[in-house]
Amino acid sequence: MRAYVLVQTSVGKIPHVAEALKAMPTTVQCDEVTGPYDVVALVEVPAIEDLGRLVASQIQTIEGLTRTVTCPVVGY
């Protein structure tokens, strides 16, 4: 299962958050972007249950990250 994780960060924390996401083995792609979100990561996990655990226990604990929106991919 794949999902896009849209991330907002604290001021000045974009590079730190992006690097932390890129270091995760579940991250397929990670980009720093402009607009309402600062970083967009494409992640891949075996099942929807794993996605919830990944976001709650690993992604949302990154220092400087303030908010996430998770968008599961349907059909790929």
Residue 76 has pLDDT above 80, yes or no: no
Q: Domain containing 18: what range?
A: 2-72
Q: How many domains does the chain have?
A: 1
pLDDT digits (tens, 9 = 90+) for 30-50: 999 999 999 999 999 999 999
Cα distance between residue 58 and residue 74, in whole Å: 23
Mean pLDDT of 17-30: 98
20, 52, 4, 65: CA torsion to nearest 10: -40
Cα distance between residue 43 and residue 25, in whole Å: 9
CATH number at residue 61: 3.30.70.920
Q: Side chain identity at 69, as an amino acid letter?
A: V
pLDDT for position 61: 97
Other Cβ atoms less than 10 A from the Cβ of 60: the count is 15
What percentage of the chain carries pLDDT values higher than 90? 97
pLDDT for position 40: 98
